[in-house]
Amino acid sequence: MGCGPREPALVNPGMSWVSPAPERPTPRATDAAAKWETMGEIAGLRRAGGVFVSRGHFAGRWKAEARVNASAEAPYATLVASSRFPGGALVVQMHRDPGSGSPGPIFAMLKRDAGFFPEGGDWEYVVTDSEGWIEDRGALPFCARCHAEAKADWVFPLPKDAK
């Protein structure tokens, strides 16, 4: 997805620093291959709305766009407080540098079966760099803490200024 420097590990969403080191992360045992297996499917996902400033992730540093798979398309397009996403629904937020257009980090949510992570809406949270190298994934309490404040089923709607 790009040849720019990687972002460092995302220890504190809302904060971001550009890393001068282009090396790959050391895979963790839980990462298997360390590359997100769904990365190749992102280009085929439907774009949900327009481009917007990502105020929740990185506090306005990036422009973002949301993409969804077929399972997430209808609930996301008509998001109301009672909306629920089915198992297998995928919502991806892709980031780009507003000045250069260079790709940035990718955040994704994959709805899992009931009981996977009840405290996080049964979503698996995935955080990668621009090339799909996994920074973190799974039942991530830090992600769930913010997403618990979302409009419906741990998912925020697109901002009104998405164009």
C-alpha torsion sign, points 46, 59, 83, 124: positive
| Any domain includes 87 | yes
Region 52-81: mean pLDDT is 93
Number of domains, the chain: 1
Residue 1 covered by a domain: no
pLDDT at residue 121 in the model: 96
Residue 6 inside a domain? The answer is no
With the CA atoms of 8, 13, 14 and 17 taken in that order, what torsion angle do they form, in degrees rounded to the nearest 10?
0
Cα 154 → chain centroid: 13
- State which amino acid sits at residue 110: L
pLDDT given for residue 34 in this prediction: 86
134 part of a folded domain: yes
Query: Which tens digit of pLDDT belongs to each residue from 133-153?
Result: 999 999 999 999 999 999 899
* Residue 7 falls inside a structural domain: no
pLDDT of residue 159: 87
| Cβ atoms of 95 and 106 closer than 8 Å | yes
d(CA 111, CA 108): 10
In a domain, 12, yes or no: no
Give the position of tokens 């090339």. 131
Domain range for residue 95? 31-147
pLDDT at 1 over 50: no
pLDDT per residue as tens digits for the range 12-62: 444 333 233 334 344 444 544 589 999 999 999 999 999 999 988 888 899
Which is more confidently placed, 91 or 25? 91
Residue 37 lies in a domain: yes
Quick check: is 143 in a domain?
yes
Structure tokens at 132: 């799909």
**Residues 109-135: tens digit of each pLDDT:** 999 999 999 999 999 999 999 999 999
pLDDT, averaged across the chain: 83
* pLDDT over 70 (residue 105): yes
pLDDT at 163 over 90: no
Q: What pLDDT is stored for residue 33 in this prediction?
A: 53
Task: Give residue 7's pLDDT band: very low, low, confident or very high (50, 70, 90).
Answer: very low
